[in-house]
């Protein structure tokens, strides 16, 4: 991508744009206390959030998706999460300033997430980022989710931008796979819910940042 050709920036949600792990830790430990079980260390919750609700249930209760008690536990987790949505979630440090800088340049931003819209939409409304996002793509908007490029390409279509001029930032291998498959420049958010620095290096993102406040200087240097 040539210098000064950036048209938009897209983010993964959990672990990239917003620090949602505290809310998941809150509701998982409500579930553990209901069962008189020991609470889960926050670090274990944090490193599992980007793998989704099923992975959280498996981690917290040592149960597999094919076991009969799994779906009731997953449903309870999602119900409790909905009730506590946004309670302790905050943008990562540096994100508000980044979005403000994009707004100053009249560059749109958006979210492409594997979080369902019935949770993603109200969460983003409660956090109220400025300027507001221009697009939100969730699994219920597409046939194939990340790591398939379909949601990335749909976001570009709705933004009227070209993938090659739209940067995608994410904290999971599937984010980088999806961005690369769509022909986007990709940024690995190593500050997010990752298992190890070595894992991040293996994703083969175009760029890697260790803190959300590093994103704006990177964009300024390479794309603005």
pTM assigned to the model:
0.94
Residue pointed to by tokens 């099923």 = 54
Confidence at 40, pLDDT banded by 50, 70, 90: very high
For residue 208, pLDDT over 50 is answered with yes
Residues 127 and 49 in one domain: no
Confidence class for position 3, pLDDT limits 50, 70, 90:
very low
Mean pLDDT over 92-98 rounds to: 97
Domain finish residue from 83, 114, 130: 83
Active site residues: 12, 14
Range of the domain at 34: 21-83
Pairwise CA distance, residues 42 & 91, whole Å: 18
Return left, alpha or beta for 52; rule: phi > 0 is left, psi -120 to 50 is alpha, else beta.
Answer: left
- Is residue 164 included in any domain, yes or no? yes
| Residues above pLDDT 90, as percent of the chain | 93
CA angle at 188 for the pair 98 and 42, rounded to the nearest 5°: 90
3 found inside a domain: no
Q: How many domains does the chain have?
A: 2
pLDDT at residue 1 tops 80: no
Q: Are residues 35 and 115 located together in one domain of the fold?
A: no
């Amino acid at each position: 991508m040539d210098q000064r050709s950036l048209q938009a920036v897209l983010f993964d949600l959990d672990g990239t744009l917003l620090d949602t792990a505290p809310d998941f830790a809150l509701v998982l430990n409500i579930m553990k206390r209901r069962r008189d079980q020991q609470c889960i260390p926050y670090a274990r919750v944090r490193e599992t959030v980007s793998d989704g609700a099923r992975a959280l249930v498996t981690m917290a209760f040592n149960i597999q998706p094919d076991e009969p008690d799994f779906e009731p536990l997953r449903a309870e987790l999602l119900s409790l999460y909905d009730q506590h949505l946004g309670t302790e979630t905050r943008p990562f440090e540096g994100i508000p300033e980044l979005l403000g800088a994009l707004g100053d340049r009249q560059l749109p931003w958006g979210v492409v997430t594997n979080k369902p819209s019935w949770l993603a939409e109200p969460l983003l409304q409660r956090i109220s980022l400025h300027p507001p996002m221009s697009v939100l793509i969730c699994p219920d908007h597409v046939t194939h989710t990340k790591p398939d490029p379909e949601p990335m390409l749909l976001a570009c279509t709705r933004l009227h931008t070209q993938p090659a001029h739209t940067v995608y930032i994410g904290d999971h291998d599937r984010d980088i796979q999806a961005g690369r498959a769509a022909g986007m420049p990709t940024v690995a958010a190593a500050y997010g819910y990752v298992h190890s620095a070595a894992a991040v290096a293996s994703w083969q993102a175009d760029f890697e940042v260790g803190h959300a406040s590093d994103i704006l200087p990177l964009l300024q240097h390479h794309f603005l």
